Structure 1
Amino acid sequence: MKKVLQTILFSLIGLLLLGGAGYWFVQDFLEDDGGEISKVAEEIEQREVSAETTEATEETKTVDKTDADMDEERVQIYLHQMTHQKITADKKRGAVEMSEENIGNMLKIVKENYDHYKHSDFYEKTLLSWQEGDFSNAVSVHNTIWNWHNGTVGRATGLMSAEQEAEYVEKNFR
């Protein structure tokens, strides 16, 4: 009888361990982190946090016009993060200031690589509109790039008010 109880006990413990390991494996395997933009944004965010601890003075990200060989994915990520200054969304990762300088530099990069980018026309129209002060396309631009990168979290739902944008700029760039 004692041997039977031990066998049952060890069997139950073994089943519990296997069940727990199986649950952990399935959760880890099926976990969805929001697509490529989220992954890259998380990496950038982690670098920023470590940079903030070592160098608290650097807060504004800018696009350097010497980045003329920027690959298309990086262009998409920069444009996506620039829209964060204008759009409302439940979650935003990464911020690039939508300054005249950054818009101009991105436009130069797009024009220089026009024949190499799949969506050059989209980038150019977007940046020309922004250069003229028209940001009404920010939600569409954000969600288009978000869709290209299979985004699952942080879909843009509208444009920020002037007050919300001022608060965002103060928090992220000043």
Structure 2
Amino acid sequence: MKNLKLKTVLISILLICALAGGAVYITITNKIKKENALKIVELKKQEDEKAAKDKIAADAKEKEDAKAKEKAEGTKDDVFDTNIVSEERVYIRMHGMINTKINAEDGNTWGMIEITTEDCNKLIEVVNTNNYEDKEKLLVFLNSWENKDFSNGVEQHNYIWEKLGGVEGKAVSLK
């Protein structure tokens, strides 16, 4: 009988230890799972914040590029009132035109407008009508383009490019 009581007590102790060990194992496992879940949530949060910052930066860059492109391009349908045209607007238009004839040192040529006799004549009229600081120089450029003479295109481009505050796209050669 003594043996049976001892066995029962030992079995009870072992059972209690097994249950306690199982409870500790489950508690530790759950704690590790929670910590891992928190780490995953934190990493996801960091990724989302980085993606949001990257998107903001990309959007800002896209807007900046669009403004620069818009400023540099001009359009074929751009109509001038010969009485009210800023010299900068003429530079922008002429820059787009001469871009069709040059190679830039960094490969960046912002805006291309085909040089036509009609466009040259319209710009000559605008320049003659307005009292620009560079009136004579602009007329020399436009008259040479009207006569299909682009031999000084690199110098002409870089002159206009500098007037527009050129940073990228300096001409190095004719196409």
TM range (shorter): 0.5 to 0.7
Larger Rg, first or second structure (1 or 2): 2
CA shift in 2, pair 1:39/1:7, >3 Å:
same
Checking the alignment, whether the CA contact within 8 Å between 2:116 and 2:146 is kept in structure 1 is no
Checking the alignment, whether the CA contact within 8 Å between 1:88 and 1:159 is kept in structure 2 is yes
Q: Deviations over 1:5-39 (max 9, x none)?
A: 22222112111111222223234335652874x22
Corresponding residue for residue 156 of structure 1 = 171
Corresponding residue for residue 125 of structure 1 = 140
Q: Secondary structure, in 3 states, of the residue corresponding to 1:94?
A: coil
Corresponding residue for residue 33 of structure 1 = 65
Under a length normalisation based on structure 2, what TM-score does the superposition of the two structures give?
0.59
Structure 2 residue 48 is matched with structure 1 residue 17 = yes
**C-alpha deviation, 1:110, in angstroms:** 0.8
Checking the alignment, whether the CA contact within 8 Å between 2:103 and 2:171 is kept in structure 1 is yes
Return the structure number with greater helix share: 2
Question: 2-side partners of 1:17 and 1:96: how far apart?
Answer: 45
**C-alpha deviation, 1:40, in angstroms:** 3.5
Show structure 1 runs of 5+ residues with no match. Answer: 45-60, 161-174
Checking the alignment, whether the CA contact within 8 Å between 1:87 and 1:159 is kept in structure 2 is yes
Percent of aligned positions that are identical: 29
CA shift in 2, pair 1:105/1:7, >3 Å:
closer
Structure 2 residue 136 is matched with structure 1 residue 104 = no
RMSD: 3.4
Corresponding residue for residue 172 of structure 1 = none
Question: 1-side partners of 2:73 and 2:78: how far apart?
Answer: 19
Under a length normalisation based on structure 1, what TM-score does the superposition of the two structures give?
0.59
Question: 1-side partners of 2:59 and 2:79: how far apart?
Answer: 38
Checking the alignment, whether the CA contact within 8 Å between 1:35 and 1:150 is kept in structure 2 is no
Corresponding residue for residue 140 of structure 1 = 155
CA shift in 2, pair 1:137/1:16, >3 Å:
same
**C-alpha deviation, 1:103, in angstroms:** 2.6
Question: 2-side partners of 1:132 and 1:12: how far apart?
Answer: 65
CA shift in 2, pair 1:82/1:22, >3 Å:
closer
Checking the alignment, whether the CA contact within 8 Å between 2:95 and 2:161 is kept in structure 1 is yes
**C-alpha deviation, 1:62, in angstroms:** 8.2
Show structure 2 runs of 5+ residues with no match. Answer: 1-30
Question: 2-side partners of 1:65 and 1:23: how far apart?
Answer: 40
Structure-to-structure mapping, 1:45-84, within 5 angstroms: 61=76, 67-84=82-99
Checking the alignment, whether the CA contact within 8 Å between 2:154 and 2:174 is kept in structure 1 is yes
Structure 2 residue 110 is matched with structure 1 residue 95 = no
Q: Secondary structure, in 3 states, of the residue corresponding to 2:82?
A: coil
Question: 2-side partners of 1:62 and 1:4: how far apart?
Answer: 63
